[in-house]
Amino acid sequence: MDKDLQSIQEARRLVEAAHAAWEKFEEFSEDQVEAILEAISLAGIAHARTLAEMAVEETGFGRVEDKTLKNIFCARDVYQAIRALKTVGIVSEDTEQKIIEVASPVGVIAGIIPSTNPTSTTIYKALISLKGRNAIVFSPHPSAVRSINETVRIIREAAENAGAPPGVLSSMETPTMEGTNELMRHRQTAVILATGGPGLVQAAYSAGKPAFGVGPGNVPAYIEQSADVAKAVADVLTGKCFDNGTLCSSEQSLIVDDAIRDAVLSELNSQGAYVCNDAESQRIESVIQTPGGTLNINIVGQSATRIAGMAGIDVPASTRALIGMARGVGRQYPLSMEKLSPVLAFYSVKDWREGCQKCIEILNFGGLGHTLGLHSADDGIIREFALQKPAYRICVNTPAALGAVGYTTNLFPSMTLGCGAFGGNITSDNISPLHLINLKRVAFGVREVASTDSEAKVSEPVRSGAIGRSQIASIVDGWLDRQAPGTLPTTPKSRARPAIISAEPAGLAPPLANYEQLEPSVAPPSSPPTPAEFVSEDDVRAAAAANSKIIVDDHTIITPSARELGAQLDIFVGDD
């Protein structure tokens, strides 16, 4: 069978099976879901190194030690972060506003997995999807099929042994672009979680489904002159060298104030970086970019020594990173692009204002909305950067690569980092289970619908307490005066209060509460009761509190809310 057709058919089969599993899974209780997540977490931790070794062997990217740490980060840290989130049943209840929020799963999720972080991203996406009682079907990058599918096999078995419905976790064994498009466009696919290159992310956004895709992370790191230089350099190299630079949040360019330029270069050398001269920098540029202006895939996730060898540069075997002297920003300056390897562009600026502009220039060249690293002890400058930079994660005095994903900061632990409107994404958040549920809102009525008739206009202020009774009487008098002669019965201008018939035993004072302030007119026992001319909702409530009735006749003006309440409480009696 043609491989593309086989992939399309496989996508259809997996989505349909996932949808059937989801229909069962959405009925699970919070405790049942948590048992499944814990099983996945423990399985991910137990197999973290094995999966890391498999990923490095299959893709050739990164370092086993760092991929192991990423696997543990997703299996342990992400799991611990999502445990407290309410994603099943009633998740909040605001008694004051009278609104109840109920979590509802979105359904089947299409999880697109990259080759740079294959196993860790799979664990992460499985946890955040199942936390919301969703099913997920993975589409592996073609160069990481074996390691991704082994990860899915391990966590699927753990999940099913803990009670998950079969099919709630699955992965394509024959992924092609056609099959992945079918997965994303299938009528039973609800949401797309896309991690990959710009073409794949664009395809996700064009699939006609809600999609969480992320933009490139061309991350600038600025060291301002008030920073602790030794720590700043250590942080930058830690982030840049982690897993050979395969995290999208890893530092790509280093911007330094002129006042500390020499100190930073000296520190880079002493901490294992190799600072290239101008000629060597141009050699590095020649291997970074293809003739078509794209990133050379052969340097992705490779060691600094290997990339130096590709460029014909002799460096010490202990070299951690290559520092290239950048001549500008843009396509004609390959050092300024996202490199996904332990290669840093180096720029010097006269002060933080120029540094600010250089960071913006770099972000505009392929990193809008993603991440920025800032090293400074000046709180004012830090705040200025927060106000001005088109990046949604500004990581201060920490490795940007690890701070952005929440490993060294209190940002939500995540392997999918939204770039917001700047980066063409729907959100600027670190994607969590809360992005994969919908909220039903149960809202109770708290006010009546305003009416256009005059009675409702009079009654609404009385009920809300906006004006007093004397003002109401004045409003009603004015309305009566404006009526045409003969349209209303002749009544005196002084407004009679509701006539009250007490239901209390003789000799006992009725429990009037606050009703005395309304100055009710009570007919003497020897005189026939006089029907009320005007009755509001407050009058009805006062009569009810007094265990009394209100006399009305055909000429009594009764507000709609008073009429409804009076009927419910059986307050009105006719003038018989």
3-state secondary structure of 473: helix
Which tokens belong to 84? 């407290």
Cβ–Cβ < 8 Å for 20, 170 = no
**At 322, phi and psi to the nearest 5?**
-110, 130
How is residue 181 written in tokens?
């498009």
Amino acid at 156: R
Query: How many angstroms separate the CA atoms of 330 and 28, rounded?
Result: 52
Q: Which of 241, 248, 276, 356 is catalytic?
A: 248
DSSP 200-227: HHHHHHTSSS-EEE-----EEEEE-TTS
Whether residue 41 contacts residue 91, with contact meaning beta carbons closer than 8 Å, is answered with no
For residues 522 and 409, the answer to whether their CB atoms sit within 8 Å is no
The token duo for 193 is 């979680």
What DSSP state is assigned to residue 390? S
Cα–Cα separations (whole angstroms), residue 327 to 217, 290, 322, 332, 333: 20, 18, 16, 10, 7
Q: Are 264 and 256 in contact (CB under 8 A)?
A: yes
Is 248 labeled as catalytic in the residue annotation?
Answer: yes
CA angle, residues 136, 435, 175, in degrees to nearest 5:
30
Active site members: 248
